[in-house]
Structure 1
Amino acid sequence: MSEIRQLFGQTIIYGLSSVVARVLNFLLVPLYTAKFIPSEYAVVTEMYVYAALFIIIGSFGMETAFFRFTGSGQSSKASVFSTAYTFLLANATLILGLGLVFYKQISSIIEYENHPEYVLIFLGIIFLDLITIIPFSLLRQKNKAIKFATIKIINIAINIFFNIFFLVVCPYLEANGISKTFVEQFYNPDISVAYVFISNLIASMITVIILAPETIKNLAPPNYKLFKKMINYSWPIWIAGLAFMINESADKVLIKYLLPKGIAMREMGIYSACYKLSIFMTLFVQSYRFAAEPFFFNQFSKPNAKKTYSLMLQFFVLFALSVFLFVTFYIDVIKLIIPNSLYHEGIIIVPIVLLANIFLGIYYNLSVWYKVTNKTKYAAIISSIGAFVTVFLNIIFIPVYGYIGSAWATLIRTIVVQGGVCPMKSVSV
């Protein structure tokens, strides 16, 4: 019983930290949409999509492999930590090195040849975020939930602080001639979008410094035989991670390349900003998932498990529909979170995205069967199907319907993925 209480206590901490992190990040949306026109905000969205892609590529599912092999008892925790950390450090260094050599070409490929500094800044962010993945995992493995959550929130708080400093304080000081010499030393109004990325870079640097003592203390010689086992275990998870990233982010980038250049960035900016208004449903689904997953495993061996799972799904749908109705009814008020009226035409996508999140939550409920039966390969299969549907439907819908087509593609993809777990289930719900 004490183990169960500990598990749920940590679940609450991790869940709250995740919710707080999402809320704090969401607070930047009013700032960005007030300071940037849609085409500028689209740059922020697009660059973070690329960063997420390369972080997943570089991590190679090693976070999950770390948990698997520290829990197996076959190797020392220090050996597992060092092996995983060394691999990610090598990957991060490789990405950084190649990026520094070819950053101008990369800038040209993604059509930001006039702003190669975007690529340089994100190379730093990707490197720093990759080398913190395993140290953060170590905190979780050691049940240091409070320390984990605290560092995550500190990271976000620093990011927000520098965003406000660069985007609000510095322009105000410059406009009013206050501390002009001081401001001119590190502020250039011509690269205002870049300060979003610089703020993130500073936060990531400080996070690495905070984690450094824990990292250094647990380093040991890496184990090559263990490394091969970890790679064999992690590659299906890596594929699932790539597929998940495509499912969540491909629509935003495809808008840029499937619409005429004169309107593409504007449309992407509007879509990305209004997509954020689904945070109310996202928070509910995320919180439910944090609480439900350990509960699923706890209930599996009990005789009434199937009935319990069914009841949980019913309550989830009931509350999710309540959130859907609330946001839909008050959308004209909620849209004011985005102060710039240039974005408001995109609120038509919000109900569609809310429904997509409901089906995603249903998928989390129904996917319990492959989690409790250790058939996680189906996660990669189902996610890959979803990624194909996402790309295929966006290619068809975007040229005809614009960003509204992307929203419908997201909804259809979540329905397909949710339906995909049903015919393969081994646990009736």
Structure 2
Amino acid sequence: MAKDIKRLGKETLIYGTSTVLARLLNFCLVPFYTYYLQPAQYGAIATVFAAIALLSVVFLFGLDQSYLRFASEAENKHKVFRQCFYGVLANALVLGGLLYIFAPEVSLWWGLGENFGLFQLAAAILFLDVLNMIAFTKLRLERRAWYFAGVRAFSIVINVALNVFFLAVLHRGPNSILWANIGASLASLIVLTPVWWGELKGHKPFAFDWTLQKEMWSFAWPFVPAGVASLLVSVIDKPILVHLVGTEQVGIYQANFKIGVFMMLLVSMFDQAWRPFFLAHAKDNDAKDTFAKVLSFFFALGSWFLLGISFLMPDLIQSNLFGNFHLIGPDYWGGLSIIPLIVTGYFFYGLYINFMVGPVITKKTRVLMWITLLGAAASITTNLTLVPHIGILGAGWAVAVSYAVMAAALFTFTQKVYPIPYEYKKLAVMLLVCLATVGIARYFNGAVWAKITLLTLYPGWMYLFLRRTLPQTD
């Protein structure tokens, strides 16, 4: 068992590293975009990618999960792959064709007017990405983590290089961002050729086993509403903002929203390690006490990250440390005020990940779809209520509120089905210390020296309250 857990940890590190690399390289494009695109252009691109994220769930239709489920138990895994691949291919051809034909109508409905060419390019991205996804899923099933991470890294590098080439060298404008994604997705599909073509060659094309297809689609379809619900929380703000304040404000919002990637990296890395950890220790006698301590440590570290990014990033963005170059172009500084709200939202998402122990261990994961729908409803309601009055700041509040609602709902459910004795007093004290730190910083009018001093002292304060919770070692 120890050997299996060690291998799981190694694979988690590999997958996690590829995820971190992806997010960091994509973040590197943000300052680049803010210097080569006007806010309205960047806003239009951000809105299209929000649509791509939602539509990808429908294009894939949960067949990646279906493949994992059926191939893991099937004697003829090759047949399952072919059925899944052809199912996704047929679905993507139909939906991609419809999106291409009705792109003008979709563009109007999405709030982008006559920019329907963006959605026609989006159809190509979606088609290529879902085919890649099936090949990636096969690599995951076969536990070929290095191949998986290598192809992802290669695709990201190609995407960044094409973005720079199209925008900085050829000056082709915002459409070239989508062309860069098409090129990267195509490059990925080519590199993955040994994975998918090795399964297809020598067999009759589109030779469907209709009985197996029916079983796979029946298993897959529940993942569609669950996936859409999950994504709505993070992307629904873009089309709402387009309709309420226009694409220029969406561009400003998106550029500053991306600063939250640093907090999201912490949450993502924790998520990669947390799920296998709590599953491995679920049967320990002191499992619940351990899980309670994990939340305390996450709260301490996460709140430090939250304060650090909120305190320092706006000053760093506007500083002259890099000469005439800024992390975000001056045209986008009007959205700096949303950064603390976005980071706070991701902090609440980290709490949500902590509380996921309940439904996973009790195998009552269906509740997660309803909780994400609740989060989406909170996001839509907050956006519609606040954005007309305070602009993109209202969208920032919507992010914080939606993730807070999800965390609270999941906490309530977890305590009902799998009660954990969280260290409430220590959590309350840490919350007070965090709020006091914010108050002191505001008292000094946000002076940089005061914020750096407070952040330097913060771990020491947390240690004083957590030292008695440190795990005992033999």
User: What is the TM-score normalised by the length of structure 2?
Assistant: 0.82
SS of 2:413's partner is coil
Alpha-carbon distance in structure 1 between the residues aligned to 2:390 and 2:91: 40
* Offset from partner CA, 1:141-185 (integer Å, 9 cap, x none): 1111001001001111001111111111224xxxxxxxxxxxxxx
Q: Kindly, what percent of the aligned residue pairs are identical?
A: 29
Distance between the aligned counterparts of 2:75 and 2:371, measured in 1?
32
Whether 1:53 and 2:54 are equivalent positions in the alignment is yes
Establish whether residue 409 from structure 1 lines up as the match of residue 398 from structure 2. Answer: yes
AA at the equivalent of 2:266: F
Supply the distance in 2 between the matched residues of 1:222 and 1:310 (Cα, whole angstroms). 50
Aligned-partner residue type, residue 246 of structure 1: L
Contact 2:68–2:141 (8 Å) recurs in 1:
yes
Q: 2:110–2:239: 8 Å Cα contact kept in structure 1? A: no
| RMSD (Å) for aligned C-alpha atoms | 1.7
Q: CA deviation at 1:210?
A: 1.3
Residue 350 (structure 2) aligns with: 361
Classify the secondary structure of the residue corresponding to 1:330: helix
Which residue number corresponds to residue 286 of structure 1?
A: 268
Does the CA contact (< 8 Å) of 1:69 and 1:75 recur in 2?
Answer: no
User: d(CA) in 1 for partners of 2:338 and 2:101?
Assistant: 40
For residue 309 of structure 1, the aligned residue among 275, 291, 297 is 291
The answer to whether structure 1 residue 218 and structure 2 residue 199 are counterparts is: yes
Shift of 1:390: 1.4
The aligned length equals 405
Report the secondary structure of 1:423's partner residue: helix
Equivalent position of 2:68 in the other structure: 67
Measure how far apart 1:202 and its partner are: 0.8
Q: Secondary structure at the match of 1:421?
A: helix
**Counterpart contact for 1:33–1:339, Cα < 8 Å:** yes
CA distance in structure 1 between the aligned counterparts of 2:107 and 2:340, rounded to whole angstroms: 35
Asked if the contact 1:79/1:222 (under 8 Å) is kept, the reply is: no
In structure 2, how many angstroms separate the alpha carbons of the residues matched to 1:199 and 1:74?
38
Alignment of 1:217-366 (within 5 A): 217-219=198-200, 222-259=208-245, 264-336=246-318, 338-366=327-355
| Structure 2: distance between partners of 1:419 and 1:295 | 22
Corresponding position of 2:32: 31
* Alpha-carbon distance in structure 1 between the residues aligned to 2:239 and 2:339: 19
Instruction: Establish whether residue 90 from structure 1 lines up as the match of residue 90 from structure 2.
Output: yes
* Residue of structure 2 in register with 1:185 after alignment: none
Deviations 1:184-233 (A, max 9, x none): xxxxx4xx001111111111111111112210222465443333333333
Q: Which residue of 2 aligns with 1:209?
A: 190
Answer 1 or 2: higher relative contact order, Cα 8 Å, separation at least 6: 1
> What residue identity is the alignment partner of 2:327?
I
Contact 1:159 1:200 in 2 (8 A): yes
CA contact (8 A) 2:46 2:251 kept: yes
Structure 1 runs, 4 residues or longer, greater than 4 Å off: 111-114
Looking at structure 1, the residues matched to 116 and 349 of structure 2 have their Cα atoms a distance apart, in angstroms, of 37
The match for 1:428 is 419
User: Deviations along 1:243-285, whole A, 9 cap, x unmatched?
Assistant: 11110010122011123xxxx2221111111011111101100
Aligned pair in 2 of structure 1 residues 301, 223: CA closer, same or farther (>3 Å)? farther
User: How far 1:331 moved relative to its partner?
Assistant: 2.3
Kept in 1: contact 2:132–2:189 (CA 8 A): yes
- Partners of 2:111 and 2:243 within 8 A in 1: no
Q: Which moved more, 1:314-323 or 1:59-68?
A: 59-68
Cross-structure match for 2:427? none
Query: Cα gap change, 1:151/1:272 in structure 2, threshold over 3 Å: closer, same or farther?
Result: same
Distance 2:106 2:419 in 1: 49
Deviation at 1:391, TM superposition (A): 1.4
> 2:464 — aligned with what?
none
The offset of 1:122, in angstroms, is 1.3
Residues 400, 111 of structure 1: alpha-carbon distance in 2 compared, 3 angstrom cutoff: closer
Inter-CA distance 420–338: structure 2 relative to 1 (3 Å threshold)? same
Q: Does the 8 Å contact 2:255/2:328 carry over to 1?
A: no
Distance 1:373 1:227 in 2: 30
| Bigger radius of gyration | 2
Among 167, 182, 200, the residue aligned to 2:181: 200
Aligned to 1:128: 128
Give me the whole-angstrom Cα distance separating, in 1, the residues matched to 2:281 and 2:312: 38
Q: What amino acid maps onto 2:194 in structure 1?
A: P
Partner of 1:400: 389
Unaligned runs of 5+ in 1: 172-188
Distance of 1:360 and 1:114 partners within structure 2: 36
Cα distance, 1:7–1:102 mapped onto 2, change above 3 Å: same
- Structure 1: distance between partners of 2:355 and 2:31: 35
- SS at structure 2 position matched to 1:302: coil
